[in-house]
């Protein structure tokens, strides 16, 4: 099979390929594209030459795709749909959007964020749903890279330790409090590191 040069391929032929796949007939594809049947047949001939495969064979009153055409259909069809979406001039309307967001956060963060977030979405995007999942320090990056969640909210994020593809932003600061008895040896110090938090008789 000859190598296909993307630069040399007429991308208009992909619309013809899409119509032939969805219509299963040269005649119906021509009608859907508002083209003449000979023009569609000519486009198919050019595709066959460019891709080095028959792509379609006669079957009853229509045509059936070859294995090569079936293999190409999913990526080409998805690419064309994304292009249509990118060129769609419709303005996004949050009030009509039916979207579900998956957010990863601890119970503590959820108690701070979720009530206000749900109330806000109820006002501007009432059909939107929010799904929360727990996280741990070690799985934050994995949850994002595996597309298990859309966003992670955590007090454990260290941007220097995360993959380059992950971006983070500070939303607020968290103050910690340490409790110890009045006469504890560490009480006289001006600063207390995290190592001291494991000292007996202390609670953070």
CATH of the domain at 113: 3.40.190.10
- Give the global pTM: 0.44
Q: Is residue 67 part of a domain?
A: yes
66 contacts 53 by C-beta, under 8 angstroms: yes
Mark whether 153 and 204 lie in a shared domain. no
Residue 50 DSSP SS3: helix
Mark whether 16 and 83 lie in a shared domain. yes
Q: Is residue 93 part of a domain?
A: no
Q: Is residue 188 part of a domain?
A: yes
Q: What is the DSSP string of 126-145?
A: TT-EEEEE---GGGHHHHHH
Interior angle at CA 27, CA 25 and CA 33, nearest 5: 100
Total domain count for the chain? 3
Mark whether 124 and 151 lie in a shared domain. yes
Q: What is the pLDDT of residues 73-131, one digit of tens each?
A: 999 999 998 888 777 766 778 888 888 999 999 888 899 899 999 999 999 999 999 99
pLDDT of residue 1: 46
Question: Which CATH number is 77's domain given?
Answer: 1.10.10.10
Q: For residue 174, how far is the Cα from the chain centroid?
A: 30
Average pLDDT over residues 163-176: 77
Task: Tell me the residue range of the domain where 188 lies.
Answer: 174-204
Q: Is residue 82 part of a domain?
A: yes
Q: Residue 129's beta-bridge partner residues?
A: 100
Here the tokens at position 127 are 């059909």
165 contacts 145 by C-beta, under 8 angstroms: yes
How many whole angstroms separate alpha carbon 194 and alpha carbon 204? 10
């Amino acid at each position: 099979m000859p190598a296909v040069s993307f630069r040399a391929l007429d991308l208009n032929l992909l619309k013809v390929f899409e119509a032939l796949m969805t219509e299963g007939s040269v005649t119906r594809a021509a009608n859907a594209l508002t083209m003449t049947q000979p023009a569609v047949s000519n486009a198919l001939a050019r595709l066959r030459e460019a891709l080095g495969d028959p792509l379609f064979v006669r079957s009853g009153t229509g045509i059936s795709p070859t294995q090569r055409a079936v293999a190409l259909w999913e990526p080409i069809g998805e690419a064309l749909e994304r292009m249509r979406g990118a060129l769609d001039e419709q303005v996004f309307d949050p009030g009509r959007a039916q979207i579900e967001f998956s957010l990863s956060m601890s119970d503590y963060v959820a108690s701070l964020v979720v009530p206000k977030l749900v109330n806000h979405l109820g006002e501007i995007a009432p059909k939107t749903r929010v799904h929360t999942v727990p996280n741990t320090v070690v799985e934050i990056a994995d949850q994002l890279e595996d597309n298990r969640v859309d966003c992670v909210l955590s007090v454990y994020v260290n941007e220097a330790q995360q993959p380059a593809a992950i971006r983070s932003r500070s939303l607020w600061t968290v103050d910690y409090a340490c409790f110890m008895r009045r006469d504890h040896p560490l009480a006289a110090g001006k600063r207390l590191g995290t190592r001291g938090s494991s000292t007996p008789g202390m609670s953070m």
